[in-house]
Structure formats: structure tokens, C-alpha cells
Amino acid sequence: MLALLLACAAPSDDTGLTVVSADPSEIPLPGISADWTTRFNAGDARFASAFRESQGLGPAYIRTACSSCHNEDARGPGAQTRMVVTEDDGITPSADQSALPYGNLVRPYVAGGANEGVTAPDDVANLLVTNRIGPAVFGRGYIDAIDDAEIERMEADEAEAGIVSGRINRVTWDAAVPSDPRFYVYAPGDVNLIGRFGMKASIPTLDRFVAGALQGDISITTPLLPDELPNPDDLSDDDFPGIDTDTDAVYELSDYVRLLDIPHRDSPDNNGPVLFAAVGCADCHVPTMHTRADYPIPELADIDAPIYSDLLLHDRGAAMADGIEQGDASGREWRTAPLIGLRFLGSYMHDGRATTLAQAIDTHSGDDSESAFSVANFYALSADDQQALLDWLQTL
């Protein structure tokens, strides 16, 4: 199933409507072997398939298929709603989260014998409720392949330069079984791992990312995360007794995401890349990072991966805070979003609050945001240069 249509985020006119154009996205890396192609196709089928109660859907869930939150491997339309009890400032998480006994993730739908989903309570003071739109998943194999030493180098370089203060989210391998040994050798309880996936870089590998999405979004348990999440009905199982799917399913889905190519990018004849660096965007949205020479997929090994991210956490200030702490990430910190497939996004930022790239740039401002200097630099450009930069961003 190689779908080719995606909504392109280029404004069609001053109404803010978007042009819908054809461009291949759901395609594998060029040149991969027949074995990897077989893995890609198997994972593609799983990605699009909806889970049923007889397969372990429930007790409380958000969506029934991976493609519901990553349609055509792009962004959304599914989203997560998260909640946290804060202090009186509205952003600092309270030490007491007992008002949220089922966690901070809203899971409104029920199956597998449940009667009540997990919803945001309406009688809790200082409850901050925020959304996260499912991110695009194409090009994530490039991120998986980035050398740990490269991410550590970026952290050190930024600290020395003193312009932005990105830092690694150091996390623990919290799965019940080791990681996929083809790619990483992590065991339960291993600490100080480099997080690179998730909007707060709280997840170290693609197989752990997939297992977490299955458990949290679809309520499908796996050997990696074998337990049903807490729910109002206090159910520890569903209509499919025991663990819902096996490790092979997790690995097939992971391989599908890992093997998705970055959609073809045009190279416009303007000075967009120069302006991008000049205003400071490239300080965090680093154009390329180098991958491991020993990465098991040859097409991703020992290359400069064009991800436009440093994969580090940055303080985005109170205006962007969601109060959710993940790993070392605070409620104000977010991983630099990789600018992969930017032209296919109908909205921007983690919650879609910006509908144009100019608005997305504005969200980086604020006296307490470490990216505010870059916004000021952008607006110091001439109108023609601002437009040239925006036009170039629409090619990513």
C-alpha cells in the first residue's frame, strides 16, 4: 500500500486555505535489499490495520490504528490530550497528582469489558489540559541512526557557544525486555540512555516508541510493555487474555517506520539556507547530523542525515509549557522538532497552534524563551528576505 497524496501546507491564497498536491511519502528508502523491502511491506500492513476487541483493544484507548494518528505517515489527524495538576502559576507541576489516578493521558474510548474511559476531571483546581498532534513518522530511521556521539557533540558545542542551551534527555530503559538487539543493546533498568524520540525526547529507540504508542494510544500490550494502564474500571486485562501482541509485531512496525524515506525535497534558487543560518534557526534545527557507521541498514549508515534538529531539549518558556515532565524534560522543555516533511503539515508546533510558518516562528518568541533571539533576527530581515526564508522552508 503506497499512498501518494498528502496535504501540502503551502497557502493557496490569503484566506489561509492550503493547497493539496500529490507527492510520494509512504515509500521506503531507495536501494534497500529485498529482505528489508519485505519487512517494510509487512509493517506497512500492520500500520494501517485497526485493532479489534478480539485482538486486545481496550480497556481504555485513544485510537484503534497507528495510521489514525499518522495518516499517510504524516501528522495527525489523531491527537493526544494530556493533563497535569499545576501550582498556582499554571505551569509548574504540583507534587500532588493524586487527582489524576489514571495518569496524565486522556483515553476516552472503551472496549474489552470497560465501561468508563479516562477523561479530564472537571472539578480539579489548576488542571492544565493540552494537546499533542501525532507527528509525521517518515524519515525517523535517519533519527534512529544518528550516532550517540554526534548528539553529545551537539550538546557540548551549544554549551560552549552559549547562544542556545540544548541538553540531552537522559532516560532509563523502562521496558520489561531488552531492546531490539539488531539496533541497540539496552536491558531493563539501563540508565543514562540518550532520548531522541517523542516531543520531549523521552524515548531512546524506535521499538520502545512503537511499544509505547501501542500501549498508551491503542491499549495493546506487548512483551516490552506488558501491563494495561490504570483505568476507572480497574481492569488489568481485556477480551484477549494476556499480552495482546508479540515482539515480532513491534519489530515489524518499527522497521516500517525506520525504513520510510524523507520525501523528495526541491532545491529552490534562493538564499533560504543562508538566511536560515543567519537568523539562528540552524543553531537548534541543525541541517544534518551524522549517523553510525555500523547502523544495520546500509542506506542509513555513515551519512549526513538531513533532519534539521539537534535532538536536544530547549526551554521554550511559559507560553509553550504543558507542565508534563518526561525523563529529565521539564514542563517547559521540548525537543527541537525535526523539520522533515514540513511542507506536508497543515499546522505547526506540537499542538497545531500555528497555521502558518510565520505564526510558527512567532511561537519561538517571549522573554523567557531561549529562541527569542532568532525571532528578532527574522523580523530584522527585509520583507523580501523574510519571504525567501518562508518559501525555502516550504520545500522541506
For residue range 339-388, what is the model confidence (pLDDT) as tens digits?
998 888 888 998 889 999 999 999 999 889 899 999 999 999 999 999 99
How far apart CA 219 and CA 27 sit, in angstroms, is 28
Strand pairing category for 304-305 and 289-290: antiparallel
Question: Computed over its alpha carbons, how large is the radius of gyration of the chain?
Answer: 21
- 376 and 39 in contact (C-beta within 8 Å)? no
CA dihedral 81, 67, 72, 120 (to 10 degrees): -10
3-state DSSP call for residue 105?
strand
- The whole-model pTM stands at 0.90
- 298 and 181 in contact (C-beta within 8 Å)? no
Domain boundaries of the chain, sorted by first residue: 34-140+200-259
Question: For a pLDDT cut of 90, what percent of the chain falls above it?
Answer: 80
Number of residues that this document lists for the chain:
396
Is the pLDDT confidence value at 25 over 80? no
pLDDT digit string (tens) for 169-213?
999 999 999 999 999 999 999 999 999 999 999 999 999 999 999
How far apart CA 339 and CA 38 sit, in angstroms, is 28
3-state DSSP call for residue 208?
helix
CA dihedral 3, 45, 175, 214 (to 10 degrees): 80
How far apart CA 10 and CA 394 sit, in angstroms, is 7
Which DSSP state fits 299? G
Mean pLDDT value across residues 285-306: 98
The pLDDT assigned to 71 comes to 67
- At residue 289, what are phi and psi to the nearest 5 degrees? -135, 145
Is the pLDDT confidence value at 14 over 80? no
pLDDT digit string (tens) for 296-351?
999 999 999 999 999 999 999 999 999 999 999 999 999 999 999 888 888 899 88
- At residue 260, what are phi and psi to the nearest 5 degrees? -70, 130
Residue 255: all three cell numbers together: 522497521
DSSP labels, 50-104: PP-GGGT--SEES-SSGGGTBGGGSSBS-EEEEEEEB-TTSSSBPS--TT-TT-S
Largest CA distance in the chain: 63
Residue 207: all three cell numbers together: 521499538
Sign of CA dihedral 362, 364, 366, 372: negative
Omega before residue 77 within 30° of 0, cis: yes
How far apart CA 152 and CA 139 sit, in angstroms, is 21
Residue 111: all three cell numbers together: 472496549
Which residues on adjacent β-strands are paired with residue 107?
Answer: 118
How far apart CA 261 and CA 31 sit, in angstroms, is 11
DSSP labels, 210-262: HHHHHHHHH----SSS-SPPP-TT--S--SS-S-SS-HHHHHHHHHHHHHBPP
Which residues on adjacent β-strands are paired with residue 80?
Answer: 132
pLDDT digit string (tens) for 82-134?
999 999 999 999 999 999 999 999 999 999 999 999 999 999 999 999 999 88
- 173 and 225 in contact (C-beta within 8 Å)? no
